Chains A and B, each alone.
Chain A
Amino acid sequence: MLLGPSGSGKTTTLKLINSMLTPSEGDVRVEGRSLRDWDVIKLRRRIGYAIQEGGLFPHYTVWKNVSLVPRLENWPEEKINKRVEEVLKMVGLPSAEFGQRYPDQISGGQRQRVGLARALAADPPILLMDEPFGALDPITRTELQREFKLLQQRLSKTVVFVTHDVSEALLVGDRIALMDSGTLHGIYQPREFLASPDQQVKPYVDAFRTAQQLFAS
């Protein structure tokens, strides 16, 4: 989990990983290999990408959106069909019901699910997620966070997840990387994070606790 305020460099970090941005200095390694040695297109097809609102193609049906990367990779048709069915089921949208709909014919939460299904479709070992649940109502968001957590335990992929929401970071993440004005402040396990005496961490923990107390009272 990349956690931090707006402008702290979370999204920038994410975009450095799939070479949407090029570092002005230093080196980015994916699977131990420098990005300079990767073919950018191949790299990106090995990395699932999910963003707020899904970034779905409005002129493609749900089915066509989800099958995008497998089709780009020229999978055999049967394998594509099977995989699309599978990932759509995984995110709770049976393809028989949703496959032929367009993004403007489903709800925001459903679009988000389709975005996740699309990111998972080619079974990439790495997932990048940029506030994927940011634009949702609190109930749908919590539901999707929980489902994603379960899904992640099953799929065990490397996920880099950007959020500015502490409770999301604590709920979904195994490790929380706190970012501040372009630098990495520290990496914590959720428990460590909650117990940390660090001056930078405390405001987040306080905010989280306050919210919890409000609920408790």
Chain B
Amino acid sequence: MWEFAVSHRREILVLTSEHLWLVSISMLLAIVIGVPLGIFLTRQPAWKGFVLGLNSVIQTIPGLALFGLLLPLPWFGARSDRLAITALTLYALLPIIQNTFVGISGVDAPVREAAIAMGLTGRQLLWQVELPLAADVIVAGIRVSTVLTVGLATIAAAIGSGGLGEFIFRGLSMVDNRVILVGAIPAALMALAANMLLGFIQRGLRRARHS
């Protein structure tokens, strides 16, 4: 395996950066969509069942099937990386929405009450009280999502959008474990690194919270 890895180091590097790119863009989109959506649910709890339900449904669709289902969509299905990013973002959403909702709902009622009574506007309440106090829970959701997405992104190779999954699928068709491992090990390392980094941030935020 070692010789294979050394002789393919260029390709490993390219596929790893592709993989990283797929995960980063998907996570960025999932955060940009998921956090505001989670906040929205704390303001309009009537929507909670619908949004979280819809998300759970998406989560239950097997990865490959979701790629297939998105394929006929006009803009999304037009390019394989677009398609992969859409699917990965959809998968990454649930833990982020859920944790944002739980984190903000978990702010102590007397703290929120005092904040409102002191004359904080809705926006001030959100930025000065709710988000700082929910930050570590939100990051915990992002952490779960990221680890999940790193693994899931390997499947994106099946529709030709690159990433470390290329090695895995190639290895599978060649029945060569060396090739599979050359894809699987960097992906696993990436997941571990993301987990550690976000765990570190999460603990820092938790300490800053003082409660």
Q: Which residues of A contact B (CB under 8 A)?
A: 18, 20, 41-45, 47, 49, 51-59, 68-69, 72, 102-105, 115, 118, 128
Q: Which of A52, A69, A72 contacts B110 (CB 8 A)?
A: A52
Contact A128:B117 (CB < 8 A) given known A57-B129, A58-B211, A104-B211: yes
Of residues 130 to 153 in B, which have CB atoms within 8 Å of A's CB atoms?
Answer: 132-133
For the A-B complex, the count of residue pairs with Cβ-Cβ distances under 8 Å equals: 68
Question: In the complex, what residues of B have CB within 8 A of residue A118's CB?
Answer: 118
In the assembled complex, the Cα of A58 lies from the Cα of B108 at a distance in Å of: 10
Question: In the complex, what residues of A have CB within 8 A of residue B111's CB?
Answer: 55-58
Q: Which of B116, B117, B133 contacts A59 (CB 8 A)?
A: B133
The closest CB in chain A to the CB of B109 belongs to: A55
The answer to whether A72 touches B113, judged by C-beta atoms less than 8 angstroms apart, is no
The answer to whether B117 touches A18, judged by C-beta atoms less than 8 angstroms apart, is yes
In the assembled complex, the Cα of A36 lies from the Cα of B119 at a distance in Å of: 16
The answer to whether A20 touches B116, judged by C-beta atoms less than 8 angstroms apart, is yes
The answer to whether B114 touches A51, judged by C-beta atoms less than 8 angstroms apart, is yes
Q: Which of B110, B120, B121 contacts A55 (CB 8 A)?
A: B110
In the assembled complex, the Cα of A42 lies from the Cα of B121 at a distance in Å of: 10
Residues of B in contact, count (CB < 8 Å) = 21
Query: Which residue, B111, B117, B124, has most C-beta atoms of chain A within 10 A?
Result: B117
Known contacts A59-B211, A115-B114; 18 additional CB pairs below 8 A are: A20-B116, A20-B117, A41-B119, A41-B121, A44-B119, A51-B110, A52-B110, A55-B113, A55-B115, A57-B111, A57-B133, A58-B111, A59-B209, A59-B210, A68-B118, A69-B119, A72-B120, A103-B211
The answer to whether B210 touches A69, judged by C-beta atoms less than 8 angstroms apart, is no
Question: In the complex, what residues of B have CB within 8 A of residue A52's CB?
Answer: 110
The answer to whether A102 touches B210, judged by C-beta atoms less than 8 angstroms apart, is yes
Chain B 49-76 near chain A by CB (<8 Å), digits 1 or 0: 0000000000000000000000000000
Question: In the complex, what residues of A have CB within 8 A of residue B113's CB?
Answer: 20, 51, 55
The answer to whether B210 touches A72, judged by C-beta atoms less than 8 angstroms apart, is no
Shortest beta-carbon distance, B123 to chain A, in Å?
11
In the assembled complex, the Cα of A44 lies from the Cα of B120 at a distance in Å of: 9
Interface of B is mostly: helix
The answer to whether B114 touches A49, judged by C-beta atoms less than 8 angstroms apart, is yes
In the assembled complex, the Cα of A44 lies from the Cα of B116 at a distance in Å of: 8
The closest CB in chain B to the CB of A119 belongs to: B118
The closest CB in chain A to the CB of B132 belongs to: A59
The closest CB in chain B to the CB of A39 belongs to: B119
The answer to whether B115 touches A57, judged by C-beta atoms less than 8 angstroms apart, is yes
Question: In the complex, what residues of A have CB within 8 A of residue B124's CB?
Answer: 72
Contact A59:B119 (CB < 8 A) given known A52-B110, A72-B124: no
B208 close to A (CB within 8 Å): yes
Q: 29 A-B contacts, Cβ less than 8 Å apart?
A: A18-B117, A20-B113, A43-B119, A47-B117, A49-B114, A51-B110, A55-B108, A55-B113, A56-B114, A57-B111, A57-B128, A57-B133, A58-B111, A58-B209, A58-B210, A58-B211, A59-B133, A59-B208, A59-B209, A69-B119, A72-B119, A72-B120, A72-B124, A102-B210, A103-B210, A104-B210, A104-B211, A105-B210, A128-B117
Shortest beta-carbon distance, A54 to chain B, in Å?
8
In the assembled complex, the Cα of A182 lies from the Cα of B124 at a distance in Å of: 33
Chain B 88-124 near chain A by CB (<8 Å), digits 1 or 0: 0000000000000000000010110111111111001
Q: Which 6 A-B pairs have the closest CB atoms?
A: A55-B114, A44-B119, A58-B211, A45-B119, A49-B117, A55-B110
